[in-house]
Amino acid sequence: MPGIIYTPAHADHKPESELHGSRRELGPHPDNPERVKRILDAVKELSWAEIREFGERDLSRNFFQVHASGLIDYFRDLQNSFDRGELDPFVADLVAHRAAGSFSNRTAPRTVRGLTGWYCTDAQTPLTAGTWGAVCAAFASAVQAAELVRDGTHSVTYALCRPPGHHAGRDFFGGYCYLNNAAGAASVLARSGPVAILDIDYHHGNGTQQIFYGSKRVFTASLHADPEHAYPFYSGYTDERGTGAGRRKNLNLPLPSRVTGEEYLKSLDKALGAIKRFRPKALVLSFGADIAEGDPIGDLGLTAEDVYSVGQAISKLNLPTVICQEGGYNLETIGEIALSFLRAFDRE
Ligand code: SP5
Ligand code: ZN
């Protein structure tokens, strides 16, 4: 029976606002706690799913398998500053083009405020007093989801991660993401054999790509909006194929806006073919409901039925699978979309 890993701790991350550049004003932040509530309410209908809450655990080992110690130290120092009452919620003041260090031998600044722009890639990923706790809980859900699959308790698990993770790299974070949940899951599974990560969030999984870019043990494939016009703009192109031992182990399939379900499934088939040729022992899925019609950020416009077909095609790989929730911002439909997708994994 598939398992759903959920934790109420996500609600401690509650970014209030996002810059809406064109209107020169602040608007509500798209990643709000209601997203998970809507998904959870919808997936409770799945009679075959077992909903589990995870227990407290030490994540240090898992962190360092996918992230640089500097990034983890920064997040811990940041939390201490919030706990001492030294900070109010904020976004990066200055995002370091890392060449900014070239004026002197100086590299990373020492204050948490300055370091935020060193590690964060954008000004849309807020830091609040509750952020780090929720980030750890999301990462722990993904790790636990992977352990349950590794140990054979479930052949499919769905980690209801919030905040999402796929824009967080080894030593950077951004795009509403702080730690890479899917990478945490993949690194657990990669200890027992080759793993494929398939990312079908609307946005390119730049963090996931970077973490495994030189890895021959983890194949990464991503279907996403063309970065010519969509976040993260600087990666997600077809010529990014991996490096060193990871050469030809990364596949990007950018898509046109308002793609039809049929066109989407054609691209998906290419990704699935490449994954099969890699012969993984397990699959990690980064699932974003922002591919669906009516999403306030995504413009692909897949219907709930399309999303079910996408799930079916992936489910047919018949691999032990960990699904990590990434984006999806339409509160009216996010539950239905996640439910359509998960229905395709009722295969036991
Ligand atoms: C995990 C994920 O889906 N991250 C997405 C980050 C993309 N952010 C760029 C979009 C900014 C749009 N802000 C305006 C909101 C419109 N209501
Ligand atoms: Zn997204």
Number of neighbouring beta carbons within 10 Å of residue 34: 12
**Which ligand ends up closest to the CA of 296?**
1
Strand partners, 4: 51, 158
Which residues, 6+ apart, have CB-to-CB distance to 311 below 8 Å? 340, 341, 342, 343, 344, 345
- Parallel, antiparallel, or unpaired for β 156-159 and 3-6? parallel
The residue whose CA has the least distance to atom 9 of ligand 1 is 231
Locate the ligand 1 atom nearest the alpha carbon of residue 201 and give its number: 3
Rounded (5°) CA angle 274-179-164: 70
Q: How many Å apart are CA 9 and CA 132, to the nearest integer?
A: 10
The residue whose CA has the least distance to atom 7 of ligand 1 is 175
DSSP H or E stretch at residue 252: strand 250-255
* DSSP-assigned states of every residue in 283-300: EEEEE-GGGBTT-SS---
**Which ligand ends up closest to the CA of 292?**
2
Locate the ligand 1 atom nearest the alpha carbon of residue 328 and give its number: 3
Structure-block tokens of residue 213: 């870019």
Locate the ligand 1 atom nearest the alpha carbon of residue 232 and give its number: 7
Going from the Cα of 327 to the center of ligand 2, the distance in angstroms, rounded, reads 4
**Which ligand ends up closest to the CA of 201?**
2
Within 6 A (CB) of ligand 1 lie: 18, 20, 30, 124, 164, 167, 175-177, 201, 203, 231, 288, 290, 296-297, 326-327
Amino acid at 293: E
Structure-block tokens of residue 288: 């974003």
Number of neighbouring beta carbons within 10 Å of residue 23: 8
Amino acid at 327: G
Q: How many Å apart are CA 102 and CA 335, to the nearest integer?
A: 48
pLDDT in single tens digits along all 348 residues of the chain: 689 999 999 999 999 888 776 666 788 899 999 999 999 999 988 876 677 777 677 898 999 999 999 999 999 999 999 999 999 999 888 787 665 555 666 678 889 988 999 999 998 999 999 999 999 999 999 999 999 999 999 999 999 999 999 999 999 999 999 999 999 999 999 999 999 999 999 999 999 999 999 999 999 999 999 999 999 999 999 999 999 999 999 999 999 998 999 999 999 999 999 999 999 999 999 999 999 999 999 999 999 999 999 999 999 999 999 999 999 999 999 999 999 999 999 875
| CA-CA-CA-CA torsion sign (315, 180, 243, 120) | positive
DSSP 8-state code for residue 56: P
Q: How many Å apart are CA 14 and CA 134, to the nearest integer?
A: 9
Q: How many Å apart are CA 123 and CA 134, to the nearest integer?
A: 19
**What pLDDT was estimated at residue 348?**
58
Catalytic amino acids? 167
- Parallel, antiparallel, or unpaired for β 50-53 and 3-6? parallel
Structure-block tokens of residue 95: 């995002």
The answer to whether residues 175 and 133 touch, using CB atoms and an 8 Å cutoff, is no
**Cβ burial 108-137 (10 Å sphere, 16+ → b, else e):** eeeebbebbbbbbbbbbbbbbbbbbebbbb
Q: Tokens 């991503």 identify what position?
A: 222
Q: Which of 10, 297, 299 to mutate to test the pocket of ligand 1 (most atoms within 8 A of CB)?
A: 297
Integer angstrom CA distances of residue 40 from 45, 52, 263: 9, 12, 30
Rounded (5°) CA angle 245-316-187: 35
Structure-block tokens of residue 68: 């640089």
Number of neighbouring beta carbons within 10 Å of residue 55: 8
Locate the ligand 1 atom nearest the alpha carbon of residue 174 and give its number: 6
Q: What is the dihedral of CA 88, 89, 95, 101, to 10 degrees?
A: 30
The residue whose CA has the least distance to atom 17 of ligand 1 is 296
**What pLDDT was estimated at residue 156?**
96
* DSSP-assigned states of every residue in 4-55: EEE-GGGGG----EEEEGGGTEEEE-S--THHHHHHHHHHTT-TT-EEEEPP
**What pLDDT was estimated at residue 290?**
98
Going from the Cα of 28 to the center of ligand 1, the distance in angstroms, rounded, reads 11
